[in-house]
Structure 1
Amino acid sequence: MLSAKRNTSIFFKTLLVLGFGYFFWLMLKITLEYIPYNPEVSFLMIKQTEVSERPEYLSFFYTHVYTSIFVLLSGFLAMLRKNFGFKNFHRNMGKVYIFLILIFAAPSGIYMGIFANGGLLSKISFVILGFLWWFLTLKAYQLARKKRFKEHKQWMWRSFAFTLSAVTLRMWKVIIVYLFHPNPMDVYQIIAWLGWIPNILIIEYLITKKLI
């Protein structure tokens, strides 16, 4: 029985790592589209009004894009809670994750949310997402400083649920477009909320059930 449970645990962990690896690669490919610096590529092609009228927009955009990929990776490695033979690896990954979110990724995300596609509903969602992402991460950091590590772990999972919105909103976009073929702006309004609300609800359920 114990052997079966252990094998099941190993299977799901392996599946988790492989799944994350796949989606991380997809996100990395998106990030690499913006290297080298080019204000007229991919997503920026539909943001030329902001690019031309707001000199700071590109700085915030590239800050968000370039830091978010490292946030995603460091967050996942921190969530694994393993040192992999390196002293304080888990702790250092957590520090990188928290620092990048609080100083770069979340603030730039909030700014970009103000100019999000999809109208007011999308803007509200992305701004809320940015503020909650920042707050949850700060709370996790404060709890770690107080050595309340059980609570720290839970708040880190909440933060990571918002980090994963970069992946899940794109998943929802593919599903919705494939099934319903809606207007592009309608898609933005829908995925702006679907990208993070189911994530945090799942994490809250797992915390309530003491599964994480």
Structure 2
Amino acid sequence: MIKLTWQYVPFGDDVAFLQIKQTEVERVPFYLDFFYVHVYSAIFVLLAGFFQLNSTLLEKFPAIHRNIGKFYVIVILFLSAPSGFFIGLFANGGFYSKISFVSLSILWFYFTLKGFTAIKNKNITIHKAFMLRSFALTFSAVTLRFWKIVLVHLFHPAPMDVYQIIAWLGWVPNLLIIEYYLYNQLKK
């Protein structure tokens, strides 16, 4: 992900993915700004989220866990999810892809906010559940690219078909896995 993000340093309006988004870059006010906010902020929340999954960090250094968690929440709520919502409105693949990416950003915002409010209310169980859901959606940045490689390699679909499929495969399986995990935790 860092390598992919590095393609966008320095700012440019026709690099990597933006090469196929020139209509939006040229005609949609602030598209490029929102795109870069999303790309740059999402890489940091992805890294922060990985640290939050470390139980040793939580147990031995709770202040670090809290501070990284605050960073994660603030960046998602004020930068990553809103910018994801905006660029999702212009997603490749048509209506179904747009619905997927907009839904992803809304759920990402909601799960993160619920996890944050739960810990403010000292409800650790709810906090953990919603933050796991949040990170499952954060991790969609990785799984979306994984599925794209797999689908293109195995089936060679048309580019817009790929977008329609990976728009959903990038996050729905992640969320289903977390829900299955949480369900099993409840049974214990």
Which residue is 1:23 aligned to?
none
Which amino acid counterpart does residue 34 of structure 1 have in structure 2? Y
1:32 aligns with 2:10: no
> Does 1 or 2 have the higher relative contact order (CA < 8 Å, sep 6+)?
2
Which residue is 2:42 aligned to?
68
Give the Cα separation in 2 of the matches to 1:54 and 1:60.
11
Identity %: 56
* Runs of 4+ with >6 A deviation: none
| Higher Rg of the two aligned structures | 1
Give the Cα separation in 2 of the matches to 1:204 and 1:83.
24
Q: CA deviation at 1:172?
A: 0.6
List gaps (5 residues or longer) in structure 2: none
Q: CA deviation at 1:132?
A: 0.4
Which amino acid counterpart does residue 176 of structure 1 have in structure 2? L
Give the Cα separation in 2 of the matches to 1:42 and 1:93.
30
Match of 1:169 among 113, 132, 144: 144
Give the Cα separation in 2 of the matches to 1:87 and 1:155.
19
Q: Is the 8 A contact 1:74 1:93 kept in 2?
A: yes
Give the Cα separation in 1 of the matches to 2:44 and 2:110.
19
Give the Cα separation in 2 of the matches to 1:87 and 1:72.
19
Which residue is 1:193 aligned to?
168
1:132 aligns with 2:107: yes
Give the Cα separation in 2 of the matches to 1:87 and 1:193.
35
Give the Cα separation in 2 of the matches to 1:104 and 1:184.
28
Give the Cα separation in 2 of the matches to 1:97 and 1:133.
12
Q: CA deviation at 1:87?
A: 5.9
Give the Cα separation in 2 of the matches to 1:28 and 1:203.
25
Matches within 5 A, 1:39-188: 39-83=13-57, 88-188=63-163
List gaps (5 residues or longer) in structure 1: 1-26
Q: Is the 8 A contact 1:81 1:90 kept in 2?
A: no
Give the Cα separation in 2 of the matches to 1:87 and 1:144.
13
Give the Cα separation in 2 of the matches to 1:136 and 1:59.
25
Q: Is the 8 A contact 1:71 1:97 kept in 2?
A: yes
User: TM-score with structure 2 length normalisation?
Assistant: 0.95
Give the Cα separation in 1 of the matches to 2:126 and 2:143.
25
Which amino acid counterpart does residue 9 of structure 2 have in structure 1? I
User: TM-score with structure 1 length normalisation?
Assistant: 0.85
Q: CA deviation at 1:80?
A: 1.3
Which amino acid counterpart does residue 91 of structure 2 have in structure 1? A
Q: CA deviation at 1:91?
A: 1.0
Over the aligned positions, Cα root-mean-square deviation in angstroms equals 1.5
SS at match of 2:55: coil
Q: How many residues align?
A: 186
Give the Cα separation in 1 of the matches to 2:176 and 2:147.
16
